[in-house]
Structure 1
Amino acid sequence: MLALGVLILTLIVGTSLWLVRENSVYSDEVAQIRQVRSAAADLLSTLQDAETGQRGFLLTLDRKYLDPYHIAIAGFSERRQRLRNATNDVSLYSGSMVPLDSAIDAKLKELSSTVTLASQGQMADALAIVRSDAGNAAMAVARSTLTGLIASTDDRLRVIVTEQLNAAANLQWVTVGGAIAIVIVVGGAILIIIQHVRELSRAQRELEVLNVGLEERVSERTEDLMRANQEIQRFAYIVTHDLRAPLVNIMGFLSELETSLKAVTAYVLADDRAPSEEEIREARLAVEEDLPEAVNFIRSSTRKMDSLINAILKISRDGRRKLAPERIDLKASLETAAASVRHQIAASDGTVEIDVRVPSLVTDRFSLDQIFGNVFDNAVKYRSPARPLDLRVRAVPAGKGRVQIDIKDNGRGIGKADLERVFELFRRAGEQDQAGEGIGLAYVRSLIRNLGGDVTVDSAEGVGSTFTLVLPADLSTIIKAET
């Protein structure tokens, strides 16, 4: 009886899976058809907006009517490509694209030429093009094709909805039959279940113990990594502190060299004796050009070394700073960091979008502000000159006790070979046309690892970059007080 019940259940489950699969196929087709319909409607609306702007301008010669025209033209290529992509895999609609493309090209040409001629004062020529009715004919073909696509998708959607309702009804009957079969099978299987309940409960308790131990081990490993990171920072502090001593001596000798140079200059240029003209020429050349050039070179080199050492000291000092975990409003912190660069983004018509689905986290405020500030500054510094900067930030939970923050931009991007290199100290990628020493992202990684998290980047040249920050939701649970 139990075997028969299992067989019946298997048949019911198989039938249910088949019906679910059919419903999934219908859902996929609905999604694809909706994409086609949405793309067709958007393209038709954009084309109509462009035509409306053209007509308003031709009637009034008021350039404010060109605003909708320019907006429509700017977004036209993207909407047109979206329709192409949506119809590529649907043979029912892809055949409509050839006449549609021809009609759209003709209409866009008519719009562009009339607006250009009218802007140049050649109103008669512009009106002659309009009266030729070629643009109206092209618009009629485009409108007819797009409305036909919309109507065709609506008809197909109605058919699919009917088929889905039928499948749902069949699934309901199968489900009812399955429920009856389950009741029968449960009666025969209940004895077997009772025999295994105790073993299952014991196994569950063992699993819970293992999970608790696993969390403790993960916490211990995290603390070990944090301690190792702090050791590296302390080592960097010692090394750089020792390097500064000879650097100070060099800079002191530079001051003495400048003082000596003044005395030598006064002596050589005084002409108190009668040296040969060759000696005078060489002495003047050394005093006026060679020695100052050497002094300037040494000074610039030492200043460079000093700035690099100060950068290392900054990372070391911040890494050795005692962390002070506190509850932080993540959205407010991100908005504050974005506000510091918003004027630079707005200057190029850029936008900032922040989507936070984590109300708060417990971490070190100073480190978090430094991390956000450096990543945002980096996005602004390496934005693409070809387009406005679009900066998007999204924060979501990332598993138990973790928070993931994605900071995405549409800037220059980073080559695949340099994705890890950009986090190394004094290493930079791409065209070196911006000021800096290459410490920003190294500083970010040092800070975030000191908080028990990590940072990675996914990027493509010419497309943009996405920096992914992963942090513990509560730093106080994994950090130990310094002794």
Structure 2
Amino acid sequence: MPIDKALFSRLTLLLIGIGFAALLAAGAGLVWQVETTRNYASAVSSAQEVRVTTLRALSLLQDAEIGQRGFLLTGEESYLAPYHAAVEALPQAMARLAKLVLEDGGRPGPIAELRELATAKLAELARTIALQRAGERDQALAITRSADGRSSMDTLREMVAGVEARSAMRLAARSAGLEANGRALLIGAALAFVLMLAVTVGSAILAVRYTRELEQAQAEVTAANAGLEARVAERTAALAAVNEEVQRFAYIVSHDLRAPLVNVMGFTAELEAAVAPLSALLAAAEAEAPGLVTAEARAAVAEDLPEAIGFIRSSTERMDRLINAILRLSREGRRALRPEPVALDRLFEGIAASLRHQLDAAGASLEIAPGLPTIRSDRLALEQLFGNLIDNAVKYLDPARPGRITILARRLAGRVRIEVADNGRGIDPRDHARVFELFRRSGRQDQPGEGIGLAHVRALARRLGGEVTLESAPGAGSRFQVILPLEPPPMPTPSPEESPR
């Protein structure tokens, strides 16, 4: 039947409302999924912290046992250094583990049981050490060799494995929830698409039927097409803007984290400044009326408050370093590469000059093989790549022997292989892959760093059209091989998704 103007208007408004509702639902679903993904990323970080702290606690217990056994076997007090260090650091590690497990959604019971067993183990070690010092070496060794002495450590390992397993299970459950949310969002988006398609088809049918009944059909169709093209252009521009925002997501998140962090650091400084007058006030009160000042108040002002402030400051400083590193990597990933001829011998001489102070302080030598080739590449990227490798080599030299770092290069077919080798501590083969991952480190954590350098090295090598590999073993040093083209590949400016994060 014919469609009058009022009915056509009502139907059009209805269809537009349905389409807008579907589009709004799809947008809300996208925001919901982004927030869910961020929460999942936080859960992954929390689970990783639980794992690292759990392994740290177990490592401290093992260090304590190693020190005790060395002392029982030799009777020399120097062997107790790992034991004393572990006894001092273990309470803080256990407290942090309990806090992380609770924040991760775990139960406090297993952690309390683990703490009790760890305390009992340290008491057993202290008892054997006391017997050794008293000349009862045989009795101390008998306790160490007993089934109880062995089983307690095995039980600790099992409990540590249980804590890790439960954390992994919680993470797996969150991962399953994330996948379910993704499927739900996909189904919802498909339904929204079908609904919008139906709205579009219905609108087109109504428009065609209505325009056939009008005297100026051709003029109205032309106007409708013009309006449709304008809406398509607007939506295309809007989608392009949204896509650009999504591409800058990692950069924006890292940048916006700085504002609350700066506030926390500022208030921490104010708390630090307040400690001195508070201490003076407490001292004056104690001098005037000793009975008014309790031991708890003295401990809170003299010990607890400075300790808490120190912990907050160290944590915020570490977070500030991480955010700065992420921003630096993001900016570097956005920078357009500028290939130019680079003489590798002069490049490494410049890097050596910039690191001369660190080399001299470590008592290390840097040997650059003669005849290094010239390649066409981005000079700044090369300086950052090899500067990171040499800086790492200096930091992780073995103090037991003079440090030696060598730079070699060999031409291949259209490529060059550059080796940075050292005689430092070395890296366990099991960690060869993980050291190139962001925020991952290997071996003793006795050097400053956030686990970003080697991840940046690999990202730079790949942007330059090459690759980096590692050969290393504990005590045998490390050899990093960087293979780069002699001539640069096409180097488009990367999008944020391609930038290292």
TM-score normalized with structure 1 length: 0.45
Structure showing greater radius of gyration is 1
